[in-house]
Amino acid sequence: ESAVRNCDNFHILEKDVQSILGWSPALKQGSNDVEVSFKPARVILQDFTGVPAVVDFAAMRDAVLDLGGDPEKINPICPADLVIDHSVQVDFARAPDALAKNQSLEFERNKERFTFLKWGAKAFNNMLIVPPGSGIVHQVNLEYLARVVFENDATDGSKILYPDSVVGTDSHTTMINGLGVLGWGVGGIEAEAVMLGQSISMLLPEVIGYKLEGKLSPLVTSTDLVLTITKHLRQLGVVGKFVEFYGPGVAELSIADRATISNMCPEYGATVGYFPIDENTLGYMKQTNRSEKKIDIIRQYLKATQQLRNYADAAQDPKFTQ
């Protein structure tokens, strides 16, 4: 969908679209590699990798000003979210005021960085900066930032809907795959290039189907399931491949369980561990305070584009490389 929507024969070429449409289960990486360009819907950063990106945008504004241009025209083209979560240190514990004391020290130690980021939050359009103390970047992404389906204004004044997708400057960005959002980790330079409207190059992947049946025993935790899946996929060898989970067992898993499995992607080596969207996904969006109107729009869009999965219906199972 992204390739079709963004095809301009400059960043995304028509041959990229044809290559993706021509994907076959017979595709084997290493023997018939096909390179394609991909434009994610947004970028997510944490403060270690995000601060250099904001510095670069500030430097570009200075350069434009020196050349006599309007510096305020320099903004991310692709929406970017920066979550400040890597600067906290635990100096106090086991006390009612431990959280407040740790946060106070965090602000004291990082005053210059936080002041700069606060300026960036006000100065740049298309960039959201989530303040310190809000939570871990992946959890904030799952519970608050993820759109699942984007809704934007088209050039003719109508609305355009398209699937959410994301690249992030952290290897565990894959956690968002548990919510049905395609996403994975990239380097800081790649992320900044996407913010500037560039596409990222990738090999058309093999897609490994991992079928889940039945449901967990009350004596078994989701951690047991995650470790078992990780062991199996390590033995199989899925480095550089997309893993998609399917089968009636998926419907028995909560979004928290799915997100935990997806979060472990770097441990079993896959690029993504993807769970297609189902009614459980939409139920989770309601639990995390997304509006009923937004959820209804998402449901209608997914049904219209045949992306709302019923895991109990084997007829909906896609074809996989393996």
- Give per-residue pLDDT as tens, 199-222: 999 999 999 999 999 999 999 988
Give the Cα separation of 180 and 275 in Å (integer): 5
Give the Cα separation of 13 and 312 in Å (integer): 37
pLDDT in tens, 217-259: 999 988 899 999 999 999 999 999 999 999 999 999 999 999 9
What does the domain layout of the chain look like in residue ranges?
Answer: 2-38, 42-159, 206-322
What are the residues facing 37 on neighbouring strands?
201
Mean pLDDT of 270-295: 97
Averaged confidence pLDDT in the chain: 95
Q: How many CB atoms lie under 10 A from the CB of residue 254? A: 13
Give the Cα separation of 223 and 207 in Å (integer): 24
What percentage of the chain has pLDDT greater than the value 90?
A: 90
Are 233 and 211 contacting, i.e. CB atoms less than 8 angstroms apart?
A: no
Predicted structure pTM score:
0.94
- Pick one of 3.40.50.150, 3.90.320.10, 3.40.1060.10, 3.40.50.300 as the CATH number of 206-322: 3.40.1060.10
Give the Cα separation of 19 and 21 in Å (integer): 6
CATH number of 42-159: 3.30.499.10
Do the domains 206-322 and 42-159 match in fold? no
Mean pLDDT of 45-73: 95
Predicted local distance difference test score (pLDDT) of residue 33 = 84
* Residue whose pair of structure tokens reads 């894959």 in the numeric block: 174
What percentage of the chain has pLDDT greater than the value 70?
A: 99
